[in-house]
């Protein structure tokens, strides 16, 4: 299994340099560090799902392998919080990372529409300033999470897209997005989808 995390992993590995530069710019003192903590948010879609039951399917074997690949991809990232929606597929994608970091995941309720849900997720994320937060969502929520956290607006993911990993670095009122890939290759697309275009970065 290949793990391709060039963009997102680079953001995590370069985080100390980013923090150092920001502290130099804003004053390297404890007050500045507490007032402007650097928060890293790693957002993924749930891994591959089975066809049934249609209302709440579990992960396939490929999906389970992807969930384990996420653990390997985030090794050394010092994950401090894990959030997912109340579905079997997001829970089972998030659980290996949570176990690896001795974290009890936070379950984020659905309902009220995608926009309202994304705002609730953003609020939950920002309750963990200065930490690395992993969020597992759905094809129609991942990009909305990014936008709610200050990132760019992009089309929703296609149904066949599972291997995207999106790292947001939030500091001093700015949000930087780096998109990468991890785990097994995506399955072949079954239909055209506007989300097939590469996501914008900032």
* Helix, coil or strand: residue 127: coil
Dist. CA 32–CA 30, nearest whole Å: 5
Dist. CA 31–CA 50, nearest whole Å: 49
- 175-194 pLDDT, tens digit per residue, is 999 999 999 999 988 777 76
Range 70-90 average pLDDT: 97
Dist. CA 64–CA 67, nearest whole Å: 5
Tell me what pLDDT residue 173 has. 87
Dist. CA 47–CA 41, nearest whole Å: 18
- 153-173 pLDDT, tens digit per residue, is 999 999 999 999 999 999 988
Q: How confident is the model at residue 114 (pLDDT cuts 50, 70, 90)?
A: very high
Would the pLDDT of 99 be above 90?
A: yes
Would the pLDDT of 133 be above 50?
A: yes
- 8-63 pLDDT, tens digit per residue, is 454 454 444 444 444 444 445 454 445 668 999 999 999 999 999 999 999 999 99
Which tops the pLDDT comparison, 78 or 28? 78
Tell me what pLDDT residue 190 has. 79
Which tops the pLDDT comparison, 193 or 97? 97
């Amino acid at each position: 299994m290949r793990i391709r995390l060039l963009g997102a992993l680079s953001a995590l590995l370069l985080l100390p340099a980013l923090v150092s530069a920001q502290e130099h710019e804003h004053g390297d003192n404890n007050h500045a560090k507490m007032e402007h903590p650097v928060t890293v948010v790693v957002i993924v879609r749930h891994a591959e799902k089975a066809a049934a039951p249609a209302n709440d399917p579990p992960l396939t074997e490929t999906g389970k392998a992807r969930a384990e690949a996420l653990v390997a991809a985030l090794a050394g990232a010092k994950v401090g919080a894990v959030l997912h929606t109340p579905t079997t597929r997001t829970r089972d994608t998030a659980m290996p990372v949570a176990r690896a970091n001795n974290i009890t995941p936070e379950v984020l309720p659905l309902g009220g529409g995608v926009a309202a849900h994304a705002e609730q997720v953003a609020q939950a994320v920002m309750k963990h300033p200065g930490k690395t937060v992993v969020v597992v969502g759905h094809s129609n929520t991942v990009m909305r999470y990014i936008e709610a956290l200050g990132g760019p607006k992009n089309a929703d993911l296609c149904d066949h897209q599972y291997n995207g990993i999106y790292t947001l670095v939030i500091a001093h009122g700015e949000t930087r997005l780096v998109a990468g890939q991890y785990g097994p290759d995506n399955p072949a697309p079954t239909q055209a989808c506007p989300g097939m275009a590469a996501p914008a970065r900032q």
